[in-house]
Amino acid sequence: MSIVVNLDVMLAKRKMKSKDLAAKIGITVSNLSLLKTGKARGIRFNTLEAICRELNCQPGDILEYRSDDEVHEND
């Protein structure tokens, strides 16, 4: 998919564990894992808002658009 989720990068920058973030934003660890691995089909605005609030960042810091060619090159 062309949308890349950089949640693990932001978590590392903020030195926060996935488990803690999941608890703070009120979703399960497995759902957060789906989001991190890019397996999720979509993200709700309220989830995105909660993540940005807890990580003190912008949606653009978490979500990034890359063309399919770029994604394949990185793979």
Partner 1 sequence: MLCQMIQNRVIKIALKISKLILGICVLAGVAFVGFVIHWHMSPKSYEAVEVSQVFKPGFGVNGFHWVLGKKASAQGLWLSDLSPLMIYWLLLRGLIFIVLSFLITQAFQRILVSIHSIETFHQNNVKQFKIIAQYGLIAFFFSFFNFSYIQGEFDINFHLATAPLLLTISSYVLAEVFREGNKLSEDQKLMI
Positions that interact with partner 1 (CB under 8 A):
27, 31-32, 34-35, 39-44, 47
Do residues 5 and 67 make contact, with C-beta atoms less than 8 angstroms apart? no
16 or 27: CB nearest partner 1:
27
9 or 43: CB nearest partner 1:
43
**CB 2 → partner 1: shortest distance, Å?**
17
**CB 4 → partner 1: shortest distance, Å?**
15
**CB 32 → partner 1: shortest distance, Å?**
8
36 or 66: CB nearest partner 1:
36
For residue 54, what are its two tokens? Answer: 């807890």
Q: List own/partner pairs for 13-19 with CB under 8 A and 24 or more apart.
A: 14/55, 14/56, 16/54, 16/55
Tell me the C-alpha distance between 1 and 42, whole Å: 11
